[in-house]
Amino acid sequence: MDLDFVQRLIELVACSPIDELEIERDGVRVRISRQAAPTQSAPQPRPTLGVAAATPNADPTAPATARHSVRAPLTGVFYRSTAEGEPPLVSVGDVVEEGQKIGVLEAMKTFNVVESDRTGRIVQIALDDHAAVQSGDLLFVLEDVG
């Protein structure tokens, strides 16, 4: 069995919800399993990492500003910049346009651009650089600008 093939299988398991994979090819059997997380009696909320905008002295009588979540379209590794050593594509407080590149997701050695699906101000970046994400995980929170 080709070692590159085995490496791709390991990456597949690492970047997917699969807990265990067993495959036989050319008389060689490979079994890859993810170490089970400790069981918990009650579901625990997933911690939110990253940077959030502070809103000191917020006026409780002011109308609420509409917010929008940008979520991961696929499972992979989240990057805030396009290359190692480059500055982040966006920061908290930046105003982004619809279609603007705001992040990158790597899945199976393919880099996929994350674009803003609307115009808004970045008020939260939910994950740190190089964080593993599942499809549907929160990446950014945008606030309507107006």
CATH number of the domain residue 130 falls in = 2.40.50.100
Residues 25 and 88 in one domain: no
Same domain (yes/no): 75, 29: no
pLDDT value at residue 33? 72
Do 29 and 98 fall into the same domain? no
* Nearest by Cα to 138 from 113, 118, 114, 120: 114
Question: What's the confidence (pLDDT) of residue 122?
Answer: 95
Q: Would you say residue 42 lies in a domain?
A: no
* Residue numbers of the domain that contains 110: 51-55+65-143
Q: Is residue 73 part of a domain?
A: yes
- The beta strands (E) that lie in the chain are given as 20-25, 28-33, 51-52, 67-71, 76-79, 95-96, 101-107, 110-115, 120-125, 131-133, 138-143
For the ranges 36-40, 94-98, 142-146, the one whose mean pLDDT is highest: 94-98
* Residue 98 within a domain: yes
Output the pLDDT for position 66. 80
Does residue 45 sit within a domain? no
Q: 14-28, 44-58, 103-117, 120-134: lowest mean pLDDT where?
A: 44-58
Q: Identify the pLDDT of residue 116.
A: 92
Same domain, 28 and 70: no
| Cα separation, 28 vs 86, whole angstroms | 43
pLDDT score at 53: 46
pTM confidence score:
0.57
Lowest-confidence segment of 23-27, 56-60, 82-86 by average pLDDT: 56-60
Res 42: pLDDT: 46
| 69 shares its domain with 139 | yes
Q: Give the chain's domain count.
A: 2
Backbone angles phi, psi at 53, to 5 degrees: -80, 135
Same domain, 19 and 71: no
- The answer to whether residues 29 and 77 belong to one domain is no
Residue type, 6: V
